Amino acid sequence: MRVRGLASPYLAWMSIFIILPLCAVVYYAFTDSVTGEFTLRNIVSIGNYWPILIKSIWLALVSSLICLILGYPVALAIARAKQSRQRFLILLVMLPMSMSFLLRTIAWVSLLEDTGIINNILGKFGISPLPLIRNNGAVVLGMVYNYLPYMILPVYTVLSHIDPSLIEAAKDLGCNRTQVFLKVILPLSVSGIISGVSMVFVPAVSTFYISKKLGGSGTTMIGDVIESQFKTAYNPNLGAAISLVLMVMVFICIGLMERFSGSEEREALM
C-alpha cells in the first residue's frame, strides 16, 4: 500500500499529461472543425490519406527489418563479449543517442545533398552527383540510423540473460553452432526481437522530421500530414482523427506482437 502511495505522483502526472490530452484527441477527432458538433466526417476523410498511411507503415516496416538485421548480430556479439567490456560496448551503442536527434538528421542532410560532402568528394573524381537525398532510401537510412540503438538494447538485454547452461546443454546433446543458434538462442530471444521491432516501428511510423529533411516532395509520411493539419491547414480535428487512427493501429500491432511473445514466455516458464 505504501509503495502504491509513492507511485501517486506519477499517476497524477500521467492523468494530467497523458490521459487528458488523449481525451482531447478523441474529442477533436469526433467533432466538426467549424460547428463543434459530433461528426464522423474526420474519420471518413482519412480515406484520402490511405496511400500515405500504407507507405508510412511500409517504410517503417522496412526500417525495422533493416535495424533487426543490422542490430541482432551486434547485440549477440556484445552479449558474448567479456563482462567488463560489455558495458563499454553498450556505451558505444548509446553514444549517438546523447546527441540531439535533430542535429544528427541535419548532419545527414549535409552529407547526402547534391552539394553535400559525399557528392563533393565524388565530384573531385569527376563523378556527377548521385541522387542520395530526397528519396525513400534516404528516409529509410535516416530512420535506421536514428532508431538502431532502440533495436540493439532490448535484444542485448534478453540475449545477455540467456542461461549459458542451456547453450552448453544443447552442445552436449550434439547441436552444432547453427543448430544452437536456431534452436536455443533465437527462440529464447524472440521477446527481445519483438520489443526491439516495436521500439523502432512505433516512432518510425509517425516520424515527420526525418521525412521532411531527407525525403523529397513525394515522400510525405503520415506524420507530415498530421503536422500540416495542425501547423498550416488549421484543421486540428482531422489531424486528431489521423493521430487517433494511427494510435489504434499501433496499439493493435503491439497487442498482436505481445500476444505471440507472451505465449513464448509462458512456454519458457513451463
* Number of residues lying near other proteins (CB under 8 A): 37
Candidate segments 69-77, 81-89, 149-157, 219-227, binder of other proteins by CB under 8 A: 219-227
Residue 258 interacting with other proteins (CB under 8 A): no
Question: Contact letters (x/-) for other proteins, 127-166, by CB under 8 A?
Answer: ----x--x--------------------------------
Question: What is the smallest separation between the CB atom of 124 and other proteins, expressed in angstroms?
Answer: 17
Closest C-alpha among 130, 113, 136 to residue 56: 136
Question: Contact letters (x/-) for other proteins, 104-133, by CB under 8 A?
Answer: ---------xxx---------------x--
Residue in 55, 195, 204, 210 binding other proteins, rule: CB under 8 A: 55
Residue 39 interacting with other proteins (CB under 8 A): no
Long-range contacts of 210-214 (CB under 8 A, 24+ apart): 210/105, 210/139, 210/142, 210/143, 210/146, 211/139, 211/142, 213/105, 213/106, 213/108, 213/109, 213/142, 214/105, 214/108, 214/109, 214/112, 214/133, 214/134, 214/138, 214/139, 214/141, 214/142
What sign for the dihedral angle of Cα 62, 260, 154, 104? positive
Residue in 157, 228, 245, 254 binding other proteins, rule: CB under 8 A: 228
Residue 224 interacting with other proteins (CB under 8 A): yes
DSSP 93-107: HHGGGGS-HHHHHHH
- Minimum CB distance to other proteins smaller for 33 or for 90: 33
- Minimum CB distance to other proteins smaller for 73 or for 131: 131
CA distance 201 to 57: 8
Neighbours of 219 (CB within 10 A): 22
Sites of contact with other proteins (CB under 8 A):
48-52, 54-55, 57-58, 61, 65, 113-115, 131, 134, 216-218, 220, 224-225, 228-236, 256, 260, 263-264, 267, 270
